[in-house]
Amino acid sequence: YTTEKENMSMNHEEIEEMLIPLRDYEKSCREIYLANPEAFRNVVWNWEEFKERFRATDHSGYALGEEPPVFMGNLLTEQDCFENESIEATVILHDRYAPPFYHNLKFIKIVYALRGGCRFFVQDKTQDRETVLNEGDFVIIPPEMNQAVFTGEEDAVTVNIILKRSTFGDSFYSLLLENDSISDFFWQMLYSKGSNRALVVRCGKDERLRSIVLDMCGEGLFCRKGAPAGGNLMMKGYVMLLFGWTLKAHQQKMEDVGSISASEAVLPVMIRYIRENYTTVTLTSVAKHFGKSEGYLSRYIRRETGKTFRFLLKEFRMKQAANMIENSTCNMEEVAEAIGYSDISCFYRNFKESFGCTPQQYRNKRNRVSL
């Protein structure tokens, strides 16, 4: 790691040069790959399965070790990737030459082909589906999706941008308010019980996007030990810049990978409608708007999200209430009225259920933090 002062003086070329050299465990993986590239053609679930495939296709006589040279677990949590609980976005380099293996994530991952290309795999029903990411392309992967990445070029650099699912809806809420493919993707990701859809963006060699990702690498990889208080804010800012520029320059170059049913495709549109009309919306009005019966709509929302309509509506109202309490001088009666509550006692009860404190206690606590 470099110091904060050294990092600030690094230009993009210097950052990229620091990303290129193979790490020791990547060299070990490369040795295995060069002995038998055929073993890396398909995705495996674990090291034991890879060893079987390697031995079945090997003609070199290479002796594999009992343990993999890199991590090959099937589950990664937020705690595995975030050293500090207050950090909401970080970057991790993908391990070159590591055998492609399926793993499930509890966070949002963006795989960006910074230098050279890579192969991206998803498990689509019972088949492996492969997508090639060329230099400059990236893919947004939702939590809970079985996926794998393989980078088999020595000077290629594949960057994983990691976003916390647990705070995404709050930290990147402005993204959800856009009306585009990415916001629909995130609405579905946040409220669907399980999405099997990734979003690939074909950007070509876009220098502006490349600069944003290099800035993220400089901040997230080389300034980590002496990170300033604003480091988390800067990383979130880079993520917003990445998405903002993508929407401005590459909105027509997005493609779905994985499977999504017709009924699943309706969910983000419906969630957006409820969110935009949360002050007055009812189950009856939503059913009428989408041409469905109330019974069907109620069952559909519960099936797709695991939540009731009433719970979703309360969630949207409470988030707006918390925002008003924190960022305005409105009294609690004005807040309740603004978010659609005519019964102040109902507002107080729902707020305490959501945040574990009264609205006034919430304001007092936030004011102390801001001081």
Q: How many CA atoms lie within 13 A of 232 on its CB side?
A: 13
pLDDT, position 166: 85
% of the chain surpassing 70 pLDDT: 93
Residue 170: pLDDT band (50, 70, 90) is confident
pLDDT tens by residue, 288-337: 999 999 999 999 999 888 899 999 999 999 989 998 998 899 999 999 99
pLDDT, position 189: 86
pLDDT, position 83: 80
The full 3-state SS of the chain, as one line of letters, equals: CCCHHHHHHCCHHHHHHHHCCCCHHHHHHHHHHHHCHHHHCCCECCHHHHHHHHHHHCCCCCCCCCCCCCCCCCEECHHHHCCCCCCCEEEEECCCCCCCECEEECCEEEEEEEECCEEEEEEECCEEEEEEECCCCEEEECCCCCEEEECCCCCCEEEEEEECHHHHHHHCHHHHCCCCHHHHHHHHHHHCCCCCEEEEECCCCCHHHHHHHHHHHHHHHHCCCCCCCCHHHHHHHHHHHHHHHHHHHHCCCEEEEECCCHHHHHHHHHHHHHHHCCCCCCHHHHHHHHCCCHHHHHHHHHHHHCCCHHHHHHHHHHHHHHHHHHHCCCCHHHHHHHCCCCCHHHHHHHHHHHHCCCHHHHHHHHHHHHC
Lowest mean pLDDT among 21-30, 56-65, 267-276: 267-276
pLDDT, position 67: 94
Residue 46, both tokens: 């674990």
pLDDT tens by residue, 92-124: 999 999 999 999 999 999 999 999 999 999 987
Residue 210: pLDDT band (50, 70, 90) is very high
Helix axes 207-222, 12-19, angle to 10 degrees: 70
| Cα distances (Å, whole numbers) of residue 216 to 32, 93, 220 | 31, 12, 6
Average pLDDT, the chain: 89
pLDDT, position 134: 97
pLDDT, position 128: 87
Query: Distance between CA 153 and CA 203 in Å, rounded?
Result: 20
Question: Which residues does 157 contact at the CB level (< 8 Å), separation at least 6?
Answer: 16, 19, 20, 93, 114, 115, 116
Lowest mean pLDDT among 12-21, 67-76, 219-228, 352-361: 219-228
Residue 245 has pLDDT above 50, yes or no: yes
Contact present, 327 and 363 (Cβ < 8 Å): no
pLDDT, position 368: 59
Residue 227: pLDDT band (50, 70, 90) is low
Q: What mean pLDDT is predicted for residues 175-187?
A: 83
Residue 369 has pLDDT above 50, yes or no: no
Pairing of strands 118-124, 147-150: antiparallel
> Tell me, what amino acid is at 312?
L
Query: Distance between CA 70 and CA 282 in Å, rounded?
Result: 52
Residue carrying the six token digits 């890879």: 50
Residue 273 has pLDDT above 50, yes or no: yes
Q: What mean pLDDT is predicted for residues 65-91?
A: 91
Residue 371 has pLDDT above 50, yes or no: no
Q: Cβ of 60: how many Cβ atoms within 10 Å?
A: 10
Residue 175 φ/ψ, nearest 5 degrees: -65, -35
Q: Is 139 exposed, middle or buried (0-12, 13-18, 19+ CB in 10 A)?
A: buried
Residue 370 has pLDDT above 50, yes or no: no
pLDDT, position 1: 46
Question: Which residues does 156 contact at the CB level (< 8 Å), separation at least 6?
Answer: 96, 113, 115, 116, 117, 118
pLDDT, position 155: 94
